[in-house]
Amino acid sequence: MVVAERKPIEEILAMVADFKKVLLVGCKGCVTVCCAGGTKEVGILASALRIARKKAGNPLEVVEHTLERQCDPEYVDQLGPMLQENGFDAVLSMACSVGPQFIAKKYPIQVFPMLNTTFIGGALEHGVWAEFCQSCGNCIIHNFGGLCPIARCSKSLMNGPCGGSANKQCEVSPEIDCIWHLIYDRMVELGQVEKLRNVFPIKDWSTSRDGGPRKIVREDLKL
């Protein structure tokens, strides 16, 4: 899932300093799962903004709404009647960065991101998420026991560890395990350690973000 975290309240207050009425929009997708932008988080931020502005003697009206997803036009379209009738100064999006971009494309109103989108990852434990995928566009984890050296190695090395790791830990980020140590243990477990002798060529990054903004077209799904 896409993992994100809310911007500092001071930064958000600066964004809305000149506004009197805003629409705060959450998302029931990934940011709900990582507890950053769901209905509950919308309510918390709305209350924080109201309290801070009331305390400053400059009340702010915050209308709360949560969409099923902000990355699908069919759900973003649901904001139309609200924006036409209520005289909002701006929309505050509590989705990953795709959400505010979709809203900004659709409506002639200022849109502000309330979250910082961080990575594609998964939960290690309750309240702890880690990066597992770099969206490189050419998945090869089957060669490494199902583990990704692109996203989970600090140097994205594909042919073994760098030599700087110690005690199974990464030299760049000592708080995390060296992924190549984990890959080796996994390949031993699978009885496939000899496969690690294969040398992989320099990665073609054209399928990643380095090749420009990407698009997938499924003709079988188009209307």
pLDDT digits (tens, 9 = 90+) for 161-189: 999 988 899 999 888 999 999 999 999 99
Average pLDDT of the chain is 94
Q: Are 140 and 111 within one domain?
A: no
- pLDDT, position 94: 98
Whole-prediction pTM value?
0.88
Assigned token pair, 5: 């975290």
Inside any domain, residue 77: yes
- pLDDT, position 209: 83
Q: Are 18 and 58 within one domain?
A: yes
Q: Residue with structure tokens 């594609």?
A: 120
- pLDDT, position 208: 87
What is the C-alpha radius of gyration for the chain, rounded to an integer number of angstroms?
Answer: 22
Inside any domain, residue 206: no
Q: Are 157 and 183 within one domain?
A: yes
Q: Are 114 and 6 within one domain?
A: yes
Total count of domains within the chain: 2
Mean pLDDT score, 19-33? 97
Q: Are 153 and 99 within one domain?
A: no
Which CATH number goes with the domain that contains 84? 3.40.50.2300
Q: Are 184 and 76 within one domain?
A: no
- Encode pLDDT of 111-135 as tens digits: 999 999 999 999 999 999 999 999 9
User: Do 92 and 114 meet the contact criterion of CB atoms below 8 Å apart?
Assistant: yes
As a three-state string, the secondary structure of the chain is CEEEEECCHHHHHHHCCCCCEEEEEEECCHHHHCCCCCHHHHHHHHHHHHHHHHHCCCCCEEEEEEECCCCCHHHHHHHHHHHHHCCCCEEEEECCCHHHHHHHHHCCCEEEECEEEEEEEEEEECCEEEEEECCCCCCCHHHHCCCCHHHHCCCCCCCCCCCCCECCECCCCCCCECHHHHHHHHHHHHCCHHHHHCCCCCCCHHHCHHHCCCCCCCCCCCC
- Encode pLDDT of 39-94 as tens digits: 999 999 999 999 999 999 999 999 999 999 999 999 999 999 999 888 999 999 99
Q: Are 162 and 188 within one domain?
A: yes
Inside any domain, residue 218: no
Last residue of a domain, one of 93, 118, 143: 118
User: In terms of residue numbers, what domain contains 153?
Assistant: 134-201
Inside any domain, residue 34: yes
Q: Are 23 and 76 within one domain?
A: yes
Q: Are 114 and 188 within one domain?
A: no
Q: Are 157 and 55 within one domain?
A: no
Inside any domain, residue 69: yes
Assigned token pair, 153: 């190695």
Inside any domain, residue 208: no
Inside any domain, residue 211: no
